[in-house]
Chains A and B, each alone.
Chain A
């Protein structure tokens, strides 16, 4: 076990000439990530142009935009896009939808992993994407196709070129800031200087599917933050466990204090709600990285019977797993709403993390502990996976869900999209196939409301024991 080697998430910004928008995006993303303690060893940002002249200088307007937003314009030379650059990139950020289409036409490997900044800003705007960064492109692509997101911003008329360029620069700066806010908690790795268990009220250790994660709270409202964290993570708290990784969390009203803390890799926010929101993603991703290659980790909700039998409901991020877990968790033990971790012996390792729930008063998402939502605990003793179901919410259906057995390869093709670090598992697809066959194959369930699934639970739990 042990943390996955720090494989950088590689992002390439592409436009036509690599002298304008792509340079501004490159430099401003680097600036905001650096300010959050994320170096190029974790996220590598570069740029290139479809028709660039190698070595060309950036346009003056790009330099102005970069410097106006606090970035560095030093040491730049344009690069023409090559196949090697495409092969060495995980995600592409393009200037316009037309450039995305051209990129995909010339380089099919960039297909389904290329987004305009406008698309990224919108796609990330309404989803809590709790997954390692390397998994973001397919998740975002699926949502892009489903939702038909506009790929360009509305800008001033073309005749007003200078104003248009500055407006584009402002949008790039705003999007770069937003993206850095989302990526940084999933990428920054604080050094685990002391392996000792947390020893005061501002620190604790939570168990995420067997990974002890130290949480250290700081800032002006440290005690309030620590108390809220303990409440939300009550089911995961463990005593006297030696942490394998840690998350440093701070809440402070002073912007300078926050900036200084972020530069050191801390998750630093002006209020407790934001801090707890990003904490959940950070703990999940860091725990996943600790178990790469040793556990099958699915994007799935898990519910357990009193006997310890577990049904896994597999679905992409942002498609209703939390609602499902919250609804069924009033009747069955709440195992997790996000990451279902299973070992080689089909044992499920629970992760009863806080649930992200829309607050009635604030209309923002709040982190609620399973105790606060009256979710049943899992029984003591071993938890064993008995059934896996791919679930899709369909508001057009009646109140009887549609259940369909899937042929093995077809089911695995869908399931594989929801597995973290499949390529690092020993025997890869064969391991996944063995797991699926050991629980009697995969079913797909389409349902209207989460409560409609309740009558199915006895049959699902009676799966392979």
Chain B
């Protein structure tokens, strides 16, 4: 039953929410019926993807803003972040054309 669902660099992700509060770099967002507290990195990712952004560009943007993660590689960290945000309804992956 296993498939490889790893996002490609040119996959486009877009964030969306119905209401949000920002304080101290963190964001609290309401997307549908789900409320999610975003860390400064997640908040930056959500803001950067407001108009749609490729996963590769998002990775480069976050690397420039925050530097490389303390553990693991940036590529995996960004994909894990996107996966979490998609799970909370804050982000969606645009269908490939």
Q: Please, which residue of chain B has its CB at the minimum distance from the CB of A50?
A: B1
> Is the pair B28, A429 in contact by a Cβ cutoff of 8 Å?
yes
B12 to chain A, nearest CB (A): 15
Is A423 in contact with B28, judged by CB distance below 8 angstroms? no
Q: Establish whether residues B30 and A16, one from each chain, have CB atoms under 8 Å apart when the complex forms.
A: no
Given the known inter-chain contacts A109-B87, A412-B28, A433-B21, please indicate yes or no for A102 contacting B1, CB distance below 8 A.
Answer: yes
A382 adjacent to chain B (CB < 8 Å):
no
A93-136 contact mask (Cβ, 8 Å, vs B): 1 or 0: 00000110010111011011000000000000000000000100
Complex alpha-carbon distance, A428 and B24, angstroms = 20
In the assembled complex, the Cα of A58 lies from the Cα of B42 at a distance in Å of 44
> In the bound complex, do residue B86 and residue A16 qualify as a contact, i.e. CB atoms below 8 Å apart?
no
- CB distance A413 to B21 under 8 Å? no
> Is B23 a contact of A111 with CB atoms below 8 Å?
no
Given A413-B28, A428-B30, A429-B19, A106–B35 Cβ distance below 8 Å? Answer: no
B40-69 at interface with A (beta carbon < 8 Å):
none
Residues of chain A within 8 A (CB-CB) of B32 are 423
Find A422's partner among B2, B35, B87, B89 (CB 8 Å cutoff). B35
How far, in whole Å, are A77 and B89 apart by their CA atoms in the complex?
A: 30
On whether the beta carbons of B1 and A423 are closer than 8 Å, the reply is no
A429 touches B1 (CB 8 A): no
Specify which of B5, B33, B35, B84 is in contact with A413 (CB 8 Å cutoff): B35
Instruction: Tell me the count of chain B residues lying within 8 A, CB to CB, of chain A.
Output: 24
A427: interface (CB < 8 Å): yes
Closest-by-CB residue of A relative to B89 is: A109
A-side interface residues, number (CB < 8 Å)? 29
Could you say which residues of chain A place their CB within 8 Å of the CB of B33?
134, 422-423
B75 in contact (CB, < 8 A): no
Q: Chain B interface secondary structure, helix, strand, loop or mixed?
A: mixed
Looking across the interface, which residue of chain B has its beta carbon closest to that of A111?
B87
A416 CB–B CB distance under 8 Å: yes
Known contacts: A50-B1, A108-B87. The answer to whether A423 contacts B30 by CB under 8 A is yes
Known: A102-B1, A109-B89, A429-B28. A409 touches B18 (CB 8 A): no
Out of B2, B21, B86, B89, name the residue touching A409 (CB < 8 Å). B21
> In the assembly, what is the distance between CA of A407 and CA of B36, in Å?
15
B30 and A408 form a contact (CB under 8 A): no
What residues on A are CB-neighbors of B24 within 8 Å? 407, 409
CA of A134 to CA of B33 in the docked complex: distance in angstroms? 9
Please state if A417 and B28 are interface contacts (CB–CB under 8 Å): no
Are the CB atoms of B86 and A109 closer together than 8 Å? yes
Q: A16-B1, A50-B1, A106-B5 are in contact. Are A413 and B19 (CB under 8 A)?
A: no
- If A51-B1, A105-B5, A422-B33 touch, whether A429 touches B21 (CB-CB below 8 Å) is yes
| Least distance between A419 CB and chain B CB atoms (Å) | 9
Say yes or no: B87 contacts A429, CB within 8 Å: no
Cα–Cα, bound, A417→B88 (Å): 13
Tell me which of A99, A105, A108, A433 has the highest count of chain B C-beta atoms within 10 A of its own C-beta. Answer: A108
Residues of chain A with a CB closer than 8 A to B19's CB: 427-430
Whether a CB of chain B sits under 8 angstroms from the CB of A410 is yes
Report, nearest first, the 7 A-B pairs whose CB atoms are least far apart: A108-B87, A416-B35, A428-B19, A413-B37, A108-B86, A111-B87, A429-B19
Which residues of A are interface residues toward B (Cβ below 8 A)? 16, 50-51, 98-99, 102, 104-106, 108-109, 111-112, 134, 407-410, 412-413, 416-417, 422-423, 427-430, 433
A-B contact pairs, 29 of them (CB 8 A): A51-B1, A105-B5, A108-B84, A109-B86, A109-B87, A109-B89, A111-B87, A112-B87, A134-B33, A407-B23, A407-B24, A409-B24, A409-B26, A410-B37, A412-B21, A412-B35, A413-B28, A413-B35, A413-B36, A416-B35, A417-B35, A422-B30, A422-B35, A423-B18, A423-B30, A428-B18, A428-B19, A429-B19, A429-B21
Known: A423-B32, A428-B18. 14 other contacts (CB 8 A): A16-B1, A108-B83, A108-B87, A109-B86, A407-B23, A409-B21, A413-B28, A417-B35, A422-B30, A429-B19, A429-B21, A429-B28, A429-B30, A430-B19
